[in-house]
Amino acid sequence: MLRTPTSGAGNGTAGSAGRLVSIGTVLNLLRDEFPEVTISKIRFLEAEGLVEPSRTPSGYRKFSPGDVERLARILRLQRDHYLPLKVIREQLDGQAAGEPLRIPAPSPHGDAAAEGAERPTVARVGRAELLAAAEVDEAQLVEWESYGLLAEVPGGGFDAQAVTVARLVADLGRFGLEPRHLRAMKAAADREAGLVEQVVAPLRRHRNPQTRAHAEATMKELAGLSVRLHEALVQTALGVRLN
């Protein structure tokens, strides 16, 4: 759930009076619901015309509460419906004009399975859906697969997380980073995943179902912390400021 900014927090605030906040504060507000969001992602959405923050005389971005909520809607449409940015822009512009959002209904997954039952199948997207969501062509996807950045799951198709990977790889490509440059990131991610799996493996093997369920929650939390640490380390190494 999107957190509500409180007055006096961070470099800028957006309290009940609708005061403006910095891009770093926006990142913190969105991260509870969207742990994968980054400063670069927000800047990219701005460059694509999906959000238009104001600027201070010195050039710093300042986001209104409406800007933050619009960003949250954009990220939800990407995450839950795999819509390309062009379609999202059209939908949000239409909503601003008083039209209802026209999005596909989510696939029903039902309630959690009863204890001892098999877990529901992870949602998959087809090749064409992935290409549309990432706004790339078949040749680019084939190249990404050749470098191990993406792979179809057993039985065909891609899991939902592959959509996020594809979009990020595409975003990085716009800055001149090619798939061969990203192999080191993939290798580092595999090592981090291995470390997380070592931590949760004893919990997964436990006989108590609640302990096994706790293993899944622990894995998600560790994954989120790992992503945030990685970003913080990169920003520290580059001397990046959140503005």
Kindly give, in sequence order, each residue whose CB lies less than 8 Å from that of residue 217, ignoring residues fewer than 6 positions away. Answer: none
- Residue 103 has a pLDDT of 59
DSSP state of 174: T
pLDDT digit string, tens, across residues 38-69 = 888 898 888 888 999 999 998 899 999 999 99
Which pLDDT tens digit goes with each residue over 102-148? 655 444 443 433 333 333 344 678 888 888 888 889 999 999 999 99
Q: What is the pLDDT of residue 54?
A: 94
The model's confidence at residue 18, banded by pLDDT at 50, 70 and 90, is low
- Give the torsion sign (CA, 10, 12, 14, 17): positive
Number of domains into which the chain is organized: 3
Domain boundary among the residues 136, 158, 177 is at 177
Q: What does the pLDDT average to over 17-34?
A: 87
The confidence score (pLDDT) of residue 66 equals 93
Pair (147, 195) in one structural domain: no
Residues 133 and 163 in one domain: yes
Residue 78 lies in a domain: yes
The reply to whether 15 falls in a domain is no
Q: Which amino acid does the sequence have at 238?
A: L
- Are 170 and 224 contained in the same domain? no
pLDDT for 113 equals 37
Question: Could you tell me if residue 136 is inside a domain?
Answer: yes
Whether residue 166 is found in the same domain as residue 197: no
Residue 107 in domain:
no
In what helix (H) or strand (E) does residue 159 lie, and over which residues does it extend? strand 158-159
Note the pTM of the prediction, 2 decimals.
Answer: 0.50
CATH number of the domain enclosing 65: 1.10.1660.10
Query: Is residue 134 included in any domain, yes or no?
Result: yes
Q: Are residues 171 and 208 in the same domain?
A: no
- 111 is a domain residue: no
Residue 103: what residue type?
I
Q: Which domain holds residue 38?
A: 23-96
Summary mean pLDDT of the chain: 80
- Tell me the pLDDT band of 230, cut-offs 50, 70 and 90: confident
Q: Are residues 46 and 64 in the same domain?
A: yes
97, 143, 200, 240 from 38: Cα distances, Å: 29, 25, 26, 12
239 in the same domain as 188: yes
Task: Evaluate whether residue 109 is within a structural domain.
Answer: no
Q: What is the pLDDT of residues 187-221, one digit of tens each?
A: 988 998 898 888 888 888 877 777 777 788 888 88
